[in-house]
Structure 1
Amino acid sequence: MDYGIEDKDQETVVRLRGRLTFNDHGKLRALIREMLQTKAKRQVLDLSALEFVDSAGIGMLLIAREEMSNVDKLLILRAAAGQVKRVLTVAQLNKIVAIED
């Protein structure tokens, strides 16, 4: 997994690329620390370039949501497609995390 961060006035947008798996745990933890440092209350994970996510990746997204919630920030998952969208749907993540098309 790779990512790029763009700070806007009202939100921080993080574009995830590649695959989000158990092997990315360290990278995602570092990303969460970066997101916690931004001023924006809305933290958006743009998943449009994410090709694959496994169950460990879903767990890491839930950790990110909890970390953001602990500091009164909103985590939003945006633009999931293909396998990633199917996994988010099957896991019913929309009941826990805000998901935008």
Structure 2
Amino acid sequence: MDVKFEGGPGQVALSGEFTFSDHVSFKELVSRLLEAKQSQIVIDLSKLEFIDSAGLGMLLLVREEASKANGKVVLRGPHGQVKRMFDVTKFNTLFSVE
């Protein structure tokens, strides 16, 4: 998984594949996003090609951490396999998906 911070604090774009092997770097990413103290975290998934169940679980963790700080998470632009995973798991009921 590649990460780019863009669009201001609390906004990040992910690309490539998001799998269990990314859990350490994703935890660091979540810490950095939460340090920005934004009411909304935006994760752009438009360039993400693949996500596995561990990646979905990590998105749930960022949602939980953001809600502890009275924030919310917006997932932007999922497509292809990522969108299919969201459809199967009903992620649109847990997140704001744009």
TM-score (norm 1): 0.91
Q: Which residue does the alignment assign to 2:40?
A: 42
Please state whether the residue corresponding to 1:49 is helix, strand or coil.
strand
- Tell me, yes or no, if the aligned pair for 2:10 and 2:34 is still in contact at 8 Å: no
Q: Which residue does the alignment assign to 2:58?
A: 60
Aligned Cα root-mean-square deviation (Å): 1.2
Q: Which residue does the alignment assign to 1:88?
A: 86
Relative to its length, the structure with more strand (as a share) is 1
Pick one of 9, 20, 23 that aligns with 2:21: 23
What one-letter code is carried by the residue in structure 2 that aligns with 1:3?
A: V
Cα offset, 1:2, TM superposition:
1.2
Cα offset, 1:13, TM superposition:
1.7
- Partners of 1:42 and 1:58 in 2: how far apart? 19
Q: Which residue does the alignment assign to 1:33?
A: 31
| Superposition misfits of 4+ residues, deviation over 6 angstroms | none
What one-letter code is carried by the residue in structure 2 that aligns with 1:31?
A: L
What one-letter code is carried by the residue in structure 1 that aligns with 2:38?
A: A
- Partners of 2:49 and 2:7 in 1: how far apart? 23
- Partners of 1:15 and 1:22 in 2: how far apart? 18
What one-letter code is carried by the residue in structure 1 that aligns with 2:63?
A: R
Q: Which residue does the alignment assign to 2:69?
A: 71
- Partners of 1:21 and 1:66 in 2: how far apart? 19
Q: Which residue does the alignment assign to 1:2?
A: 2
Q: Name structure 2 gaps, 5 residues minimum.
A: none
Q: Name structure 1 gaps, 5 residues minimum.
A: none
Cα offset, 1:7, TM superposition:
4.9
